[in-house]
Structure 1
Amino acid sequence: MGGGKGADYHLHGLAHGGPPHTVEKLWPYVEAARKAGLDEMGFAEHDRYLNGLEFGVFAELRRLAPLPVRQGIEIDFHPTRSDLRHIAALPWDYLIGSVHHIGNWAFDAPGEEARFDEWDPDELYLSYFDLVARAARTGFFQIIGHLDLIKIYGHRPTRPVVELAEPALRAIAEAGAAVEVNTAGLFKPVGEIYPSRDLLERCFALGIPVTVSSDAHSPEEVGRAREEGLALVRGVGYTHLATFKGRQLIPVPLDG
């Protein structure tokens, strides 16, 4: 990796502002990635912005940028979605599968916290990880995003989380997908990287590759807390990170 800091593949250039994509709008992210010492970067907009994405803009961005720019997408997985095959057929370098909803409940959205009280915590975690497993089993995703996002507000199960997540972890391993070590959790109420160390240790034991990402929604957040994420990955035992081009996983050695 040339002494750099690897790839950050979870960057939202549109944040929550919506289309259109332009080189001018995305360039501050490129500059931030360069200053952060990243070797690669990748944009993964929320799939609700799909119609505003311009593949030509990314071609121009790749031509101008001082580091490789990958194009991905973050898909909000619902088991009833019928458009996954269509979206997956587009020329992405990778697809991130994330679970943000349980039924009609956007559990990580501001103002939705009270609904956690309607659940038994173990049943909540089981329901969440069942959706993660179903996302992995589609075979469409190269990366599973923020694996234990359900902890965002600090709600914890009474049973060991690894036990509750085991079927999902096995589904991810069988799909050959990577798990994202997402530092955005440090800046949420839970104050903890996604996933927790015990889950990451189980990922390592199952041979699941990892990426480290910031989930940035502004240029200032690109690569944030990356050293903490890398330290967690190293501490668990990983010696390589997953990178992607044309959906092909390319392992690269961790520096240090």
Structure 2
Amino acid sequence: MKFDFHTHHDRCGHARGTIRDYIEAAIKKGLHIIGISDHSPYFSSDEDQLYPHIAMAKSAFPEYVAEILQLKEEYKGKIEVLLGVESDFFPKHADVYRTHLDKYPFDYIIGSVHYVDDISIFHKERWAGLTDQQKVQTKENYYKLVEHSARSGMFQILGHIDAMKGFYPSFSSIQTDAIEQTLKVISEYDIAIEVNTSGKTKDCGGWYPADEILERALHYGVNITFGSDAHDPERIGDDFELVQKRLKEIGFKEWVFFREKKMQLVRL
């Protein structure tokens, strides 16, 4: 079975193509399931669309859900379309997000940490001038947020759990036990981490997470799924077979997806 659960489209302001474009691309590439998971609005903001080039407007969210549900019906028999969303995780606003997200029949919600200490994890200059200890603290703050997102009960999938290396490859070599602790916590919940192949488009040049994290995830019994994080229909299913092969080599026997927030197991 071939699938891709992390995909975006033009509502977020930094992706190309409509939802239909991604579904059609998935069919052409032989996928059996496609999940649409665009960036959720900034629900805690007073503005309708706080950052037009990052996430959709709050007013656009109901139509986003309605369009996916309509396309889910239209494409029955051709491909299974799942209703998803990628939601930022802000602990202080978790209840606000939960209230909005609970209104809709999502198959799954991806929880992603995009901000640490109120700065984007992808901000290239955030590391400039930091001491080694401050870098360790930043990395630990990141994983504390990932751990908190796992405990929140809001998500079925945790997105790109080492994406902070995206534009700072040295992130991976910052020594701390925080990742180990976070994986232990994740393993206690019926959620999954994704192998996200969009890291290959960033400075780090590899998937999220790195192999050594996947090896530790297997050790702790963490569930695994797949997402291209496509922001262009051409990237749908990108490296699916390579990821499948690598996970088998590491020792995984199965991976998972979610339908109506219930975990489904698929043999690798």
TM-score by length of 2: 0.84
* Matches of 1:62 and 1:156, distance apart in 2: 39
- Corresponding residue number in structure 1 for 2:264: 250
Deviates more, 1:245-254 or 1:53-62: 53-62
Matched, 1:240 2:236: no
SS state at 1:71 partner: strand
Matched, 1:44 2:44: no
Which amino acid in 2 is paired with 1:70? L
Instruction: Evaluate the alpha carbon distance shift between residue 10 and residue 185 of structure 1 in structure 2; reply closer, same or farther with a 3 A threshold.
Output: same
Contact 2:12/2:38 (CA < 8 Å) preserved in 1? no
Q: Which runs of 5+ in 2 are unaligned?
A: 42-55
- Corresponding residue number in structure 1 for 2:13: 17
Which amino acid in 2 is paired with 1:136? A
Contact 2:113/2:142 (CA < 8 Å) preserved in 1? yes
* Matches of 1:228 and 1:157, distance apart in 2: 22
Matched, 1:142 2:135: no
Which amino acid in 1 is paired with 2:158? I
Instruction: Evaluate the alpha carbon distance shift between residue 159 and residue 70 of structure 1 in structure 2; reply closer, same or farther with a 3 A threshold.
Output: same
Contact 1:125/1:157 (CA < 8 Å) preserved in 2? no
Q: Give the aligned length.
A: 242
SS state at 2:208 partner: coil
Contact 1:147/1:194 (CA < 8 Å) preserved in 2? yes
- Corresponding residue number in structure 1 for 2:146: 132
| Structure 1 consecutive aligned stretches of length 4 or more whose deviation exceeds 6 Å | none
Cα deviation, residue 64, structure 1: 2.0
SS state at 2:34 partner: strand
* Residue of 194, 207, 211 corresponding to 1:197: 211
Matched, 1:114 2:125: yes
* Matches of 1:76 and 1:10, distance apart in 2: 14
* Matches of 1:127 and 1:59, distance apart in 2: 37
Deviates more, 1:116-125 or 1:27-36: 116-125
Contact 2:197/2:228 (CA < 8 Å) preserved in 1? yes
* Matches of 1:134 and 1:220, distance apart in 2: 34
- Corresponding residue number in structure 2 for 1:156: 171
* Residue of 226, 229, 248 corresponding to 1:212: 226
